[in-house]
Amino acid sequence: VKDIKLAFDISDEMISYEMHRGRSELKFEIDETTGDFEKVRTFVAERISTLSATSTTAPPGLVFTTRLDGERGALTIFQKILDEFPDLRVGLFTGGAPKDWKPIFGATGFRDESGVITAKWDAYKLEVQRRWKAADLDLVVATKAFGMGVNKANVRYTLHAQMPGSLEAFYQEAGRAGRDGYEANCKLLYKPDVGLSQRELKSIIAYPAPAKLQNFIRSSGFETQGDVRSQFYFLNRQNFETKDDV
């Protein structure tokens, strides 16, 4: 592969890797959440505390989210991690810039003395990729826009702050960890939908018409809805052929 990359001048981002189904080095865990930051903070703190005991640097980790903005969105999680872990070098990677993004946030996350502020979002994302591969970042908060080609062998943990769009997406994203063959932890946080009955859920699955889905989604506020309603929200966006915001 290296010879082909050199011969055709192919960048790392354009290389995809086959995912094998047997990944015994990955330790999976699912935990229920109310949607607040506490479970994210606890998991990251535990991973840093446990793994840093055998290393002089924080172990590389990834936090995935399906949302760009809002209380459970990528930007909010990124900012809270910056506040909770002042020594952690953190990057943010999403398809488009969050609506409240400011370039100073990126410079703060890098934690270096250069003070260089990358004003353009696409340039900032390239810098996040470069620093991540060069071991100059400890953690990246990302949506699915963080492509498979961004390969790093020694990622020690992944955390999904929300349920991803499919089992395949979860396996692929969690599978970024432990590519060096050593043990890694992969956790999924699941927020249940209050008041959602099995009868109602089966009815929607049996006949998922766009208008029916829309009424179901609107029966709960965006910030209070659980992960099942969130999944139907993203499904209905596809029905109306709207642009994906991640």
Q: What single-letter DSSP state applies at residue 207?
A: S
Dump strand ranges (E) for the chain. Answer: 26-32, 61-64, 90-93, 139-142, 157-160, 184-190
Q: In the chain, what percentage of residues exceed pLDDT 90?
A: 48
Round to whole Å and give the CA distance between 111 and 163.
30
Q: Is the pLDDT of residue 122 over 50?
A: yes
Span 175-234, pLDDT tens digits = 999 999 999 999 999 988 777 777 877 877 787 777 777 777 677 666 667 777 777 766
pLDDT for 20 equals 54
Mean pLDDT of 7-32: 76
CA proximity to 61, closest of 128, 140, 148, 131 = 140
Q: Which of 5-9, 144-148, 206-210, 217-221 has the lowest mean pLDDT?
A: 217-221
Prediction pTM value: 0.80
pLDDT for 75 equals 97
Cβ atoms of 180 and 22 closer than 8 Å? no
Mean pLDDT of 19-37: 85
pLDDT for 244 equals 45
Q: Is the pLDDT of residue 55 over 60?
A: yes
